[in-house]
A and B are shown apart, each in its own frame.
Chain A
Amino acid sequence: MTPDGRDTSAPALGNVSISRARDYFTVPAPIKRIFDQFPLVTYAPNDLPQRGASNRTGNRLFVFTDAAGAKSHSPSFNPQCLKWQAYLRFVGIDFDIVPSNNHASPTGALPFLLPALPVNNNAPIPSSKLQKWAIEQVHCEEEQQLNLRFEVYASLLDHRIRNAWLYTLYLDNENFSTVARRLYVNPSTSNLLVRATLAAQLQQAARDELLKTSQYIDVSALEAEADDAFEALSTLLSNNEHFFERSSPGLFDASVFAYTHLILDKGMGWKRNRLAELLQKHENLVQHRERLLKYF
């Protein structure tokens, strides 16, 4: 925006086309006047959210839940969060629940825990290190070492049942609009555009995850594999109180409970729940879930 372009005394005829071109890129005067007014108002920075400023001293576990759920210590609606919430509860560690979302986490995924001690150390513990931390706190045993089937059967939960869960929650449109939108999308914002984008991103992430291992999403195959997985878990549990004949529930029980509870929970408001039908064929898994629900 040099003054030359507007200089009417610019003489040479050859310069006409250049100055014409320049005219397209100079801001027209009325628009420039409007933009000169910006910024209109500069607001003072927002205060920190009140819920973050609480000076509680206990361990704080950040999970997907709502404010009421955090107060009453009810189970989280996210299987990963519920697994660790249940595990810490089973081994007898006291902690407070803080409602949160993935953006708050240093690793980008919930849950994570802010330990109470040592006092001036506020390094968060991601979920992958929670078990190690719990073992240091209460000296419970590392269950993976005790039974070779732990990792093997855990792969059923981490792949077969998780894939079926991803489909049921995110890709089944009826469930998505009644359950996932209510739990994950709507609490984050009231803006309709952002909600629509978030919902699309969630569904796309679930679809990508399922398409990593196969060319197309075969619903009947996902359900058949989940059915097999429940059958295997039911056989493994047989008539025992807890998995691997433990006297008290442990990490594996927590992992199983995380899915069986949410699948059977009436409060989730499932529209179509094929997984529950498959799960209810195995009475001992249903009872296992009811026994563990008493811890909450």
Chain B
Amino acid sequence: MVLELHVWGPAFSLPSIEAQCLATIAYFSLAVPKDAWVLVASSDPSVSPTCELPALRNGSTWVSRFRNIVDYLRQYSNGEWDLDGGLSGLQKADKIGFSSFVESRAHALVDLSLYVTSQNYYNQTSPAYGSILQWPSQWILPPKIHAAAKARTDHLGLSSLDLQAIEEQRQREHSAAVAAGQIPPNFISRPRDTVTSLLGKTSQQNQFRLDALTGELFEPLEEILGDKVYLLTGENEGPSSLDCLAVGYLSLALVPELSFSWLRDAMKSKASRLTVYTERMRQQCFGLNAEVSHAYTPTPNSGSSLPWRAPERARLTTLGNTLFSALADNTPILKDIRAQDRLRVAAESPDSGLSGPDSQKLSAFAKGQKKDLLVNIAYAVGGIAALVGYMAYEGFFSVEVSDEYEEEDELEDDEFEPMPDIEPGSLQVESILAGL
């Protein structure tokens, strides 16, 4: 059985755009023989039942997340495909400690660099997603990922890297000043900030903070690396899983050509040995530059050292599902119902780690909450109906009402059956695009 590793697609001449996926690819290329696995750039979390990438598929078994995949590989191969087998006690502790350190600190910095820094997001990251995602995911997923990255880095207080947030802040202040009546609205001039002037201003303001953050990440790593070949181990002991994690995050810091490359500059100036190490590990794990074409139209002599296999094009049902869930997740009341449902599904699924009675309780709780919600909706609908009825009874408005309702019904139908006149089957995206 060949193991299938599903990941986010290639970008920035790296085989994946996401750090955990890069780390998992690095682990596979270092630990697993080349004919035992294939790499699929499916770029769609919904391929796996856990809705996460990277995900490993072995027949009907799905495993997601770097750590779980590493554990699964060790069990699957009876300890043969295990990079951490030979570590000593303190090395093992260091592996755990530094893994947590890299995942938390480097993740935040990569988020800041690729997503929160507006110039980089709009000029590089967003187009990169555009080239690996299919319609309609390319319109749905990147904003979600962008928002999640902003939420994750919120506590660092660096939102001034985000031009959009600055603009919103300024508009708020502007309207607050107008509302307070301090200045007549005509007299408030709105200086048009060019991107360069903003860039200069924000980079100065942020410089100290970013300097501290990057220093906190790179200095311990540089020190533990020392003159060794790998972070924890020497040449003859071979790499550990920490090296895979590190190359996943650090290559996303080092390799991408970005408009505002503060992270790469900081890494080069603060950690020269770590920079050399990252470049060497990257060559060793990912081979030559990865192109998007390697992943989607692989040929035996394309020059890529990774065992790519072309992902299946999305089927119509998948597309319909994506569209439906995107619409439903953005509809106010439906959103809450779906959130409750997700909790229940997680609780009832056998691998959620809850024992039988616990999962029953949790799902009962979720059902109860759903009932509350339905009661609320019923109250609201009943209230509105009573009001409308009263007004109609008093003759407050005339008979046009019924026409309006019909129009609204039609609109709703359109929303929930996005492509009613296309026959189900394995139609490909192109034909749907043409059909539209």
Contact = CB atoms under 8 A, between A and B. Distances in A.
Interface stretch (B172-180, B215-223, B416-424): B215-223
Interface string A220-237: 110111001101110110
Given A212-B148, A235-B93, A236-B93, A159 B100 contact: yes
A241 to B, nearest CB: 18
- Chain B contact residues, majority secondary structure: helix
Contact of A148 (B50, B220, B365): B220
Main secondary structure of the interface of A (DSSP, over half): helix
A8 interface: no
A148 B219 contact: yes
B148 A160 contact: no
A207 to B, nearest CB: 9
Contact of B97 (A152, A214, A218, A225): A152
B288 interface: no
B354 interface: yes
B361 A173 contact: yes
A180 interface: no
Contacts of B50: 215-216
Contacts of B206: none
Nearest to B345: A216
B101 A151 contact: yes
B92 interface: yes
Interface of A: 21, 24, 148-149, 151-153, 155-156, 158-160, 173, 212-221, 223-225, 228-229, 231-233, 235-236
Interface string B217-231: 001100110000000
Interface string B123-137: 000000000000000
A153 B90 CA distance: 12
B216 A229 contact: no
Contacts of A149: 94, 97, 220
A214 B362 contact: no
Given A148-B223, A215-B50, A216-B50, A156 B365 contact: no
Nearest to A233: B93
Contacts of A229: 96, 100
B104 A217 contact: no
B96 A219 contact: no
A217 B50 CA distance: 11
Contacts of A173: 361-362, 365
